[in-house]
Chain A
């Protein structure tokens, strides 16, 4: 059973995508890594579903 959503779940995908990219603008690689770590922890806790998180980890690693 798939828990991780594979279809679009954003009303304005371009805006969200560019907001993420823009947030990294001007950061060094190290600052990017620190930023991403904070972002991941915030989102992961918000999602709260361990099965979804584990599936996302697996899918991200598979690419």
Chain B
């Protein structure tokens, strides 16, 4: 049905089957979007890893399609974001309809001066394809396709992983095991960890189609459209002229009946009119849950992405949340594996990303409740906001068809040094994501490496900066100065995951050293 050509990636007989195995620093379970991204981020920091995946091809079906700015910035550091932008559909605007009337238009990135747009829509199989290709050309990443994890035995200083292959079973020993194995996470089941949260019963029909026509580029969301009058519909464009139509079906729909081609076609015909022509790419009915693990780190086993937390799809927080997880984890795990930080640093991965998962679940649950009201009064307020929106701008702000994924705040992380200088009126404070800006002929994000960075404004010669950080002097008086509320002497310490760890009005190497120690878990000031 799909126009995407699935290729099979090579299986190679693992050396362990011939008694030639050795303990690895990191094994990663799952070659979705998160696993290979983590492997590449570790490799960039000199840490080799093995990625184990039970099959030998990329994601079946489009699945995650909205790749957010923050994820693109991560993939840019790995050298594949340009390909994604070129292949995908850049969009920043969206439109909300009530019936057939457009009542609200939003722009997710109204200001220019960022290397990447708010979102690029690209099917998950392309993202994975580009990641796999990059991994296969990276000597420090070993991709093991058709290697299915069937057992996990934690030990004090390593994890023994039982793996099944076409040639038989073997045991892989790894100092750390990272489970990026998805919402049904076999590793989580093997460890018997509860995955608690809220179950939602509303059903949604996804129809990904190739429409042989002019396509809208922006996101469109309808409440009570004429072609589906009882519920809502979301329309989103993807690469290769593929459109995703997402129909809310309600609780009582018959999934098997709804996914029959003639029934899907009937809905699409109402939506696109008698002249439209299309081909089917992918059809499925889904429901969703919001769940989270109590802890993301269990001894030497670490959970990231959907294996650790799941949210509703409204807001594009699943895939993008997973990339943010591994971006937070990679530099910390690299410091621990290379002996530059203690294992305790990983506690901050759990606390920071659990807080982020809570924020994502809160936001996506609110969107869900707006889109699918659970009781009559909830529907009355939702419809009141929709009805008032055309005439009252305030009501447009209440319309929640998905608050789209932006980097979450980490306001109380033990790694961050709170502001001491009291005269900040703007700029990202500690615990906030850094902001991109044009610098010279390029972009600020391009000036930063895989290490800590020290942004110094109007201070070209800071001499030798404390070890572990790289100085990035910002000259001139451009947009970066405004975005960082800067004056000559202003200094920001940026973590490797591009969050602000500390900032000062004057450059003081001793203060930077102290903040670096704190940000790497070497001391808690």
Chain A positions within 8 Å of B, measured between CB atoms, are 30, 33-34, 36-38, 40-42, 45
Contacts and interface: CB of A to CB of B under 8 A. Distances in A.
Contacts of A45: 392, 394-395
A18 B427 CA distance: 51
Nearest to A33: B380
Nearest to B385: A41
B446 to A, nearest CB: 41
Given A38-B387, A45-B395, 8 more contacts: A37-B380, A37-B383, A37-B384, A40-B381, A41-B381, A41-B385, A41-B395, A45-B394
A22 to B, nearest CB: 20
A38 B388 contact: yes
Contacts, number: 29
Contacts of B387: 38
A61 to B, nearest CB: 13
B362 interface: no
- Chain B interface SS verdict (over half): helix
Interface in B353-395: 376-377, 380-381, 383-385, 387-388, 392, 394-395
Nearest to A38: B384
Interface of B: 376-377, 380-381, 383-385, 387-388, 392, 394-395, 398
A37 B385 CA distance: 8
A40 B445 CA distance: 45
8 contacts: A34-B380, A34-B384, A37-B384, A38-B384, A41-B381, A41-B384, A41-B398, A42-B392
A45 B395 CA distance: 9
A25 to B, nearest CB: 19
A43 to B, nearest CB: 11
Nearest to B387: A38
Given A41-B388, A42-B388, A34 B383 contact: yes
B377 A33 contact: yes
A33 B384 CA distance: 10
A37 B376 CA distance: 11
Closest 3 pairs (CB-CB, A-B): A37-B384, A37-B380, A38-B384
A14 to B, nearest CB: 27
Nearest to A37: B384
Contacts of B381: 37, 40-41
A45 B394 CA distance: 7
B376 A33 contact: yes
A42 to B, nearest CB: 7
Contacts of A34: 380, 383-384
A45 B384 CA distance: 13
Contacts of B383: 34, 37
A41 B394 CA distance: 9
A41 B380 CA distance: 11
Contacts of A30: 376
B63 to A, nearest CB: 36
Contacts of B394: 45
Contacts of B392: 42, 45
A34 B378 CA distance: 10
Nearest to A48: B394
B386 to A, nearest CB: 10
Nearest to A36: B380
B369 to A, nearest CB: 15
A42 B392 CA distance: 9
